[in-house]
Structure 1
Amino acid sequence: MGIRFVLVDLDRTLFPSLEFAKDARMTALRAMKKEGMKASVAKAYVELMKVVEEMGPNHADHFGELLARLGERKEGSAKIIAAGVFAYHRAKTRIKPFPEAGRALARMRREGLKLYVASEGRSVKQWDKILRMHVQEYFDGAFISEELGVEKGRKFYAKIARKLGVRPGEVLMIGDKMDRDVEPARKAGMRAIFLDRKKKTGGKKRDVAKNLLEAAEISIDSM
């Protein structure tokens, strides 16, 4: 039996997460500067990226920790932190999927494939992205590491197959990271497509797509 279920990664697969994150953080820092942060936006951005790397993207107080490292967390700094948080969340309204995403997802659904998001992170945060992009209508559900209780790896994908009640060979994963999306899915017995938007692999290779429309065609051909 061919492919019946398609898993789709979220960050950098459905939308340009790196570009969005930089834009949102810069927007937040400019707002903090306006409310009294003394450090330059450029200096604050470099320090903020260190905070994110060390404490993880899901830490609850990035901007507070940033001010502490800049030597600016003191009485009255709550207003500056709040300005950053508000501006960051306001910037989220600008989140958009890649231009071809809607067409690719709709094409796979029309052909009868069942689609699920497969993502790493906090469930509410990942669903927030899905809803803001208005792509929830294409998916039958989502498998997120926080809810599954395991990070992306062979066990993550094996657990998804068990939850779907199907053989791993009936599931295909689409993602942009070889070490988190493609290789572990294949080790779990699934088929996987490497989404190579920057054409790192070079040449035409099997199960490599340069965008979601190409990935959709490979998925449909695998049914």
Structure 2
Amino acid sequence: MSSTSGLAYAVRTATRQGLTRDLPHGPDDLQWVANTATLIYGDRDAVLVDTYTSIEQNAELVEWVTSFGRQLTHIFITHGHGDHFFGIGQLLEAFPEAKAIASKGTVAGAHTQGEPRWRDGFWEKLFPGQIPEITYPEPLDGGFFELEGHRLEVMEMGYTDTVDTTSLWVPDLGLVVAGDVAYNDTPSVHRRNHPGEPRALGSGCRTSRRARSRRRGRRTQEAEHARPPDDSGPDRRLSA
């Protein structure tokens, strides 16, 4: 999607097996989770918001970003869950001039997820042999960064499906890349979001209203977990 500002964005969706494997028998779509990655780009440069879980999916993400022919300057991570930042190392190998950045809270959460009890005891058990070597984002100094002179603002969203989550607001596109603040037509029921984390059912809806208030009626909100666009479900973009 493009605008008169000179910026545009594109969204890529990848489907993986969900984290909760002992669900009762029911519809097959309760077993999958779709992650999205958003590329915001101008004439020369681009910013990627979030990565994927597995080595294979992140390799496909590298190919997708490369196909736009832009220089990747930043990889912004919305929160510290592994399925959003595990691909940093593969992206930086392909784009060594890029910087992986996040809020201080997200960086702290990512370091927790990188501990052996999480990487090996949780993620590797669910996705054996598929978890990349971990590279962490660096803390962003300030509440915004720029893409070709356009301001991209970090929105601190508090607790959604984990602590210290953020969204990215792009005023010149009227775009909020919501992270896990918003789910769109994809399963979002958690007994616990990850082992040891408290329940947060419904908190994403409250924080989504905060995001809409911040946007003051502007156009588009991209959900980080959304039904793939070639499916029969609704468009993944949430109305303003």
Shorter-chain TM range is 0.3 to 0.5
Which protein, 1 or 2, shows the higher relative CO under an 8 Å CA cutoff with sep ≥ 6?
A: 1
Greater helix share, structure number? 1
